[in-house]
Structure 1
């Protein structure tokens, strides 16, 4: 059944009624504060992010403010604009005196006739239906005031409201304990994952493996030769770099050939779309000489650029269309999690040359060059089919040389140290999306070891991180089940099935009658008071007569 239809169905419960929200309250919208009006002192301005998280920073307003835009502790607020599923909803303000920002209603009502906590929960129960009817799209939507006020709300007798609130709080308290435990476990997994990555790229994860394979060049073990004086040693980073440089030169020549073909195709297509970028000649190797003491013998810290056969190159973001075409462009959300999601794409009405570097190929590494500071620099290994997608302008693409394993590199780029390196170098005007450029990404320090050890590190990480992923998936599943249970509780609460009904309670219809009568009386009184403050207008006719009298005198 459609959620919106279900919410607006008449409730067949004894002594309940189903009024419009506008019948029982007033919704006061917030003020539009200009950024030039923000201050560092004064009343905190309540924005939607301040309702979602107590840790969100405030802007302040230090000028005179009308009372209708002020919020006091305990006021009921409703965020009516934002991202469906995250921003919308009712909140009881727990802070001090504050200023109400746009996109938030302050809900004014008679708290002696409607339980505030009941009202808050009932509004949140109705949010899903409101979102279905909201204006806007998947990314951003808003509920108009008229639709908000027309939405119907289940209203039981006042005493039953109190009983429902008490029961909801009792049940939700148990659920909240479970949520807290699950979230703690998830944070512990994150800490373990980062600790695992840190040890991996400090050489600690493979310390015993190096001892066991000290006489092996390419990763095959030899019990007889491992400890013998004449046995070959694992390839050092210097030896590997020399080989990578040869691979980069060979790959560059191949890229020049592909580029020449791509340009020819582009010209044959009347130069539609972005011209194929000329591949860059491999730059000299850049070795980071600092902090060598924290690496095992034979390892070396080099710039990411030294390990690349291609890139970094920005993508392209042409205008999307609704109709399916032969060209799919992934969106930023396809890689935000660090894992490639091939369901996040849009169609574009531009044919891309088959030799264009915009096409993604297996084991390409994508890096978010522009996003919120939390996600800027997120690396992701492309796992889709070759030439199935192109990538957007807010991503950069790189390809590693054959002797630098792509999974090894992308795992290293996911460490706290690497992420902080990129975040600290992101640039952008205040309030804008922070970005990193190709030079910053190219300079990222990467600990380099032999190919055999890269393979071993990748093997260990794959095994242990897959266990972390399974645990994380289990936690997410349990959180979804708890949220589903929470919704079931609310559904029972607002259909009269959660607590016993009492025939001695005043019927909600009588309660609603008193609310509407008092509301109408208050509106009439306010209208009279407003009219009394108006200055009387002089009639034009009287003004004309007065002028005539002056002329005749």
Structure 2
């Protein structure tokens, strides 16, 4: 049982329930605005009436709280604005404070993760649905601090809240993904690194790959591929730097991509597992997603996944068709399914550069644009589509430099994701953090009351989170983007 200790008093000392009914108000029902409550907007005007007769609705006036006893556990509670006059459903609880505590501070408190935990704790009756009656609300533990302290903390919380909102605005999942895509696109267009003057051009590299494949064909280690069509000017999406060459992906693969195989699964554990599509949907190989099948696959079969294999989703929803994943580790016992295909890149090229290229915005759009099917849920790409995608091929030395630069930039990108996750943690624990710091720096004559929580409830650390000290500004979007540009501009 986890515990959180701080001095408290019962909220019932400061609140009283409002039970004034519309029919007893002396005001015509036509003059009442009907309000509802949501967890995002608080108290809002609504047209949802349980009845045309508002007589039993509860009157709502300014500076009063309203909540649905069955929804308050997800933050559906609000404080009415000055000038409010209307009514809420009789199923709602309406209450007000006695002026000894701050209305705004109480609202922040009840909507914080700490407040939600307390609401769940006191509202749980062990039934199918928990509900927080007003009698339960009065039992909630409220920080034993003065009105003056509440107002000071409220200012601090608001300032930190604004800081976190600014961070969310500038450092969002969407913007982080946009930066990642931008990194990959700049890489395949030759805008990440400068080519060395003595680098062997990509045309020479293509000749080496061609010679290697001819040798392997002669040794009967690979099969001869069909001739690929030349690349037209219309297929070239951007200009290449000097020394680069356009080629088809099939020109740098040992063989044409092959589709997988999906025999019926079995319930018992066997030595052979077939991946499911979810194993590669994220773009990285997750071996937790598989099904057992009968162990009838020959040891020499191409179906076995090996280190260095490039897996491509040939069928999925339009958002994921063409998703590329590299098997970058030694594994045994896995084959890939019929809804994927596998390709092997020539050792003469940099495998990681080719994989990054196939993950770039250009390649993703190419696969989406060439997917066919009767519905978006089952679009497919063929082996020919994959073999014929145009590839911007740099000299081999530049391929390696680009991969190194991408690794640096994507590591920074990952750091940004962690900062965003940390910021969300700060936001969820903001009230606890501020309260914990307040009680840790002041001496309290009154002994702390222990509040027990269920094991699945989160408990904050006693120290104030970094956000409350303003350090999070150092890692805003602007700072991280500046560092990204510095990495791009660094000499290799």
TM-score class, shorter-chain normalisation, is: 0.5 to 0.7
1:448 aligns with 2:393: yes
3-state SS of paired residue (2:419): helix
Q: In 2, distance between residues paired with 1:192 and 1:173?
A: 28
- After superposition, the Cα gap between the structure-2 partners of 1:363 and 1:234, relative to the gap in structure 1 and judged at 3 Å, is closer
1:391 aligns with 2:336: yes
Shift of 1:446: 1.2
CA deviation profile, 1:162-194 (whole Å, cap 9, x unmatched): 998995785365256257447736777656654
1:313 aligns with 2:313: no
The equivalent of 1:285 in structure 2 is 228
Shift of 1:363: 0.9
1:351 aligns with 2:295: yes
Shift of 1:383: 1.0
1:31-46 map, 5 Å:
none
- After superposition, the Cα gap between the structure-2 partners of 1:121 and 1:311, relative to the gap in structure 1 and judged at 3 Å, is same
CA contact (8 A) 1:15 1:156 kept: yes
The equivalent of 2:479 in structure 1 is none
CA contact (8 A) 2:206 2:252 kept: no
CA contact (8 A) 1:325 1:349 kept: yes
The equivalent of 1:109 in structure 2 is 92
Shift of 1:413: 0.9
Higher relative contact order (CA 8 A, sep 6+): 2
1:151-550 map, 5 Å:
155=140, 170-171=156-157, 173-174=159-160, 177-178=163-164, 180-181=166-167, 184=170, 193-203=180-190, 208-209=195-196, 211-213=197-199, 216=200, 235-236=203-204, 239-240=207-208, 242-243=210-211, 246=214, 249=217, 253-254=220-221, 282-290=225-233, 294-296=239-241, 299-308=244-253, 309-314=255-260, 316=262, 319=265, 321=267, 325-342=270-287, 344-353=288-297, 354-371=299-316, 373-427=318-372, 432=377, 434-449=379-394, 453=395, 455-491=396-432
1:134-153 map, 5 Å:
146-149=128-131
- After superposition, the Cα gap between the structure-2 partners of 1:212 and 1:157, relative to the gap in structure 1 and judged at 3 Å, is closer
CA deviation profile, 1:349-406 (whole Å, cap 9, x unmatched): 5325223333211111122344554444232211121424333454332212344442
Shift of 1:201: 3.1
Shift of 1:202: 3.5
Q: In 1, distance between residues paired with 2:167 and 2:290?
A: 38
CA contact (8 A) 2:274 2:290 kept: yes
Q: In 2, distance between residues paired with 1:361 and 1:165?
A: 63
3-state SS of paired residue (1:283): coil
CA contact (8 A) 2:260 2:338 kept: yes
Shift of 1:481: 3.4
CA contact (8 A) 1:313 1:398 kept: no
Q: In 2, distance between residues paired with 1:118 and 1:189?
A: 31
3-state SS of paired residue (1:446): strand
Q: In 2, distance between residues paired with 1:12 and 1:204?
A: 59
Aligned length: 369
What RMSD over aligned residues (CA atoms) do the two structures have, in Å? 5.5
CA contact (8 A) 1:244 1:402 kept: no
CA contact (8 A) 1:304 1:442 kept: yes
- After superposition, the Cα gap between the structure-2 partners of 1:301 and 1:199, relative to the gap in structure 1 and judged at 3 Å, is same
CA deviation profile, 1:241-287 (whole Å, cap 9, x unmatched): 64365267458x4468xxxxxxxxxxxxxxxxxxxxxxxx6221232
- After superposition, the Cα gap between the structure-2 partners of 1:426 and 1:124, relative to the gap in structure 1 and judged at 3 Å, is farther
3-state SS of paired residue (1:212): coil
3-state SS of paired residue (1:469): helix
CA deviation profile, 1:405-432 (whole Å, cap 9, x unmatched): 4222111112211112222334556673
3-state SS of paired residue (2:303): coil
Q: In 2, distance between residues paired with 1:422 and 1:248?
A: 29
CA contact (8 A) 1:340 1:380 kept: yes
CA deviation profile, 1:484-535 (whole Å, cap 9, x unmatched): 444444557999x9899xxxxxxxxxxxxxxxxxxxxxxxxxxxxxxxxxxx
- After superposition, the Cα gap between the structure-2 partners of 1:155 and 1:204, relative to the gap in structure 1 and judged at 3 Å, is closer
- After superposition, the Cα gap between the structure-2 partners of 1:335 and 1:170, relative to the gap in structure 1 and judged at 3 Å, is farther
- After superposition, the Cα gap between the structure-2 partners of 1:117 and 1:345, relative to the gap in structure 1 and judged at 3 Å, is same
The gaps in structure 1 that reach 5 residues or longer are 18-23, 25-49, 52-64, 81-87, 94-105, 134-143, 217-232, 257-280, 501-553
3-state SS of paired residue (1:432): helix
CA contact (8 A) 1:360 1:386 kept: yes
3-state SS of paired residue (2:397): helix
The gaps in structure 2 that reach 5 residues or longer are 13-17, 19-38, 41-46, 52-64, 79-88, 98-105, 443-492
- After superposition, the Cα gap between the structure-2 partners of 1:295 and 1:326, relative to the gap in structure 1 and judged at 3 Å, is same
Q: In 2, distance between residues paired with 1:428 and 1:68?
A: 47
TM-score, normalised with respect to structure 2: 0.56
